[in-house]
Amino acid sequence: MQLIPAKLKRLPMPILIAGAIALTSNSLPALAASASFGPGNPFYAPSTLPFQAPPFDKIKDSDYQPAIEAGIAQQLKEVEAIANNPAPPTFENTLVALERTGQLFNRVMNVFSGVTGANTNPTLQKVQEIETPKIAALNDAIHLNTKLFHRVETIYNERNSLHLDSESLRLVDYYYREFVHAGARLSDADKARLKKINEEESTLSNTFINQLLAATKESACVTTDKSKLAGLSEAQVAAAAQAAKDRHVEGWVLPLQNTTQQPDLTTLTNRSTREALFEDSWNRAERGGPNDTRNTIARLAKLRAEKAQLLGYPNYAAWALEDQMAKTPEAALKFMNAMVPASTARAASEEKEIQAIIDAQHGGFQVQPWDWNFYAGQLRKAKYDFDESEVKPYFELNTVLQNGVFYAAHQLYGITFKERKDIPVYNPDVRVFEVFDTNGRPLALWYCDYFKRDNKNGGAWMSNFVTQSRLLGTLPVVYNVANFTKPAPGLPALISFTDVTTMFHEFGHALHGMFADTNYPSLSGTSVPRDFVEFPSQFNEHWASYPQVFQHFAKNYKTGAPMPPALEAKMLKAAKFNQGYLFTELLAAAELDMQWHTLPASAPMQDPDVFEKQALEKTRLLLSYVPPRYRSSYFLHIWGNDYAASYYAYLWSEMLDDAAFQWFEDHGGLTRANGDRFRSMVLSRGNTENLNKMYNTWLGKEPSIEPMLRDRGLTSTSR
Q: Which amino acids are annotated catalytic?
A: 506
DSSP 668: T
Q: In sequence order, what DSSP letters do the residues of 572-641 get, joined into one string?
A: HHHTTTTHHHHHHHHHHHHHHHHHHHT--TTSPPP-HHHHHHHHHHHTT--BTTB--SS-GGG-HHHHHS
Write down the H helix ranges in 619-718: 636-640, 649-666, 672-678, 691-699, 706-711
d(CA 345, CA 709): 13
Phi, psi of 264 (to 5 degrees): -70, -15
Q: At what angle do helices 61-83 and 103-118 cross, to 10 degrees?
A: 140
**Residues 156-186, buried b or exposed e (16+ Cβ, 10 A)?**
beebeeeebeebbbbbbebbbebbbbbbbbb
d(CA 329, CA 318): 6
* CB neighbourhood size of 144 (10 A): 23
Q: At what angle do helices 649-666 and 691-699 cross, to 10 degrees?
A: 20
Give which of 640, 706, 38 is closest to 293, Cα–Cα: 640
* CB neighbourhood size of 623 (10 A): 18
HSE toward the beta carbon, residue 408, CA cutoff 13 A: 28
d(CA 603, CA 545): 47
Angle at 22 between CA 21 and CA 27, to 5 degrees: 120
d(CA 462, CA 220): 25
How far from chain centre, in Å, is Cα 301? 20
Do residues 484 and 451 lie in contact, with contact meaning Cβ atoms separated by under 8 Å? yes
d(CA 11, CA 19): 14
Sort residue 564 into left (φ over 0), alpha (ψ -120 to 50) or beta.
beta
d(CA 601, CA 274): 41
Do residues 324 and 529 lie in contact, with contact meaning Cβ atoms separated by under 8 Å? yes
Do residues 546 and 575 lie in contact, with contact meaning Cβ atoms separated by under 8 Å? no
- Alpha-carbon Rg for the chain in angstroms: 25
HSE toward the beta carbon, residue 265, CA cutoff 13 A: 25
* Integer angstrom CA distances of residue 526 from 256, 408, 478, 515, 518: 29, 21, 11, 10, 11
Do residues 284 and 375 lie in contact, with contact meaning Cβ atoms separated by under 8 Å? no
Q: In sequence order, what DSSP letters do the residues of 341-366 get, joined into one string?
A: HHHHHHHHHHHHHHHHHHHHTT--S-
